[in-house]
Structure 1
Amino acid sequence: MQSPFIVELNEQNFRPVLEGSMQTPVLIHFWASMSEASTQLIPQLKELAQQYSGAFTLALLNCEQEQMIASQFGVQTLPTLALFVNGQPVDGLGGPQDLQTVQAMLANHLPSQDELNVKQAMEFIQTQEYGQALTLLQALPDELKQKGDVKLAIAECLVETQNFEQAKVLLDNIPLEYQDSRYKGLVAKLELHEQSANSPEIQLLEQQFQADLTNAKLAADLALSYHQVNRDQEALDILWRFLSTDLNSLDGEIKKHFMDILAALGQTNPIASQYRRKLYSLLY
């Protein structure tokens, strides 16, 4: 299937393709079968276009078949690469090139891969695909994650995926200039969660457990109550206190509750990953 990021230029489409550079940069590759260097570069350029996922359009022009277009561009040597931005040529390369040289040219005009990931994550947030957005955002370098807009996006993903404790830490450190209506809405959601997560029933269980810290049944009841209101780190921590000293605590119920909570959180949840490692270190 033809990639949406790669087009074959001809007399019918070359003007619309160039006009498309007003929105997305267009890299034209002038090639011909008689030029081995130009044909060898095509697969590498196609792979590069796929890696950039739409950050630029690769336009392939066969100079043997489209001599009129090639002459209009004044191509003198093959291969020739020309980068168009906003309808105008902004850079180019002539003669045989390695892929690193092409990438270096593109890097001067295109967003970095990290910036592309931020853009993709923001699109995921728009479509409420918060888990996918969070994966992209958390993989960014620390320098980018400290930017106010990125930090706010991560906080939104954490709230929407019910990682409330991590979200609270981030929201407490959002720069003042980013404390807009979106920020206030997230804070309001967090406050609602905190109110529901600290019900009188949970408070009573907490008091009872504090009075009898060795009572595994109370610990299990409190942990399950925490889990029901998404206080999963606290739930796992309480269960781990018993599990770390006795894998068969409460006739195996503690381990079962622990594993059930890990399963509910999923494989990618960082809290679950932390406690899985603890459990594996105990087992193996």
Structure 2
Amino acid sequence: MNEQITVIDITLDNFNQIVIEGSFNKPVLIDFWATWCEHCKTLTPLLEQIVASYGGQLILAKVDCDQQQQIVAQFGVRSLPTVVLFKEGQAIDGFSGSTTEANIRKMLEKYVEAPATPEGDLLEQAKTLYDQGDKIQAEALLKELLAQNNNNMLALILYARCLAERGELTEAETILNAVIDDDYKQELVAAKAQLAFLKQAVDLPSVEELQATVQEQPSSDELCYQLAIAQLAQQQYEQAMEGLLTLFKRNRTYQEDLPRKTLIQLFDLLGNDNLLVINYRKKLYQALY
């Protein structure tokens, strides 16, 4: 099969070669479509564009459902459009109906290495800089990226986080409130949790001052909570988690269960795979039951 051909019309004659055998070499995306299907008229060109961006790593196999009813019956297709992803001779994923480009790419990234793009490279560089603590350089790269495409939701979310880190809380909140893309719910929840902690910490004394005050008044629930928030604003996550958990164990009724709710917010910020989250989620569960 010609390696440059990435979009192929499927018939009974070539089905086994392209879909079954071919999927052992590279994933095959099967597009079940028909001329009378209105959603197909927008989805099929989008699939062709996405497959082309993978530079030969992915095949689009198009099945005209009016002409290839035996193949349609074999797959049990009940509605159009329907898309099925084949790999190593097996159907491994897919969807029915229309969806967004972001959703399709999110599905594909689990099975195919994402194509490198200048925009993607900039975003990855910005993420790396942000994670390393270089928020200024990360923000500069994000500005460059957003100047090219101000609809990149992940870039907008990370840009808002950079703004929040340097105290531009109102602008960061405006940006996050404008992000409505359902594809990045987790990233948006994390950014909003970070912003909430920073807003709470604005009028608080420094971590050092609060630590000194708590040593003098260790039984003050309010001071202990303030210290945890100040620590969160400084990204002292483990200390904050320990303080919130201790406060929860000591006084579950404080501010209507606020320590536990704040811990849950912090778990959202750091993500379920974070080792601190795994550890303290278990500790919180044990404290609850």
Under TM normalisation by the shorter chain, which class is it? 0.3 to 0.5
Q: TM-score, normalised by structure 2?
A: 0.38
Highest CA radius of gyration, 1 or 2? 1
Q: TM-score, normalised by structure 1?
A: 0.39
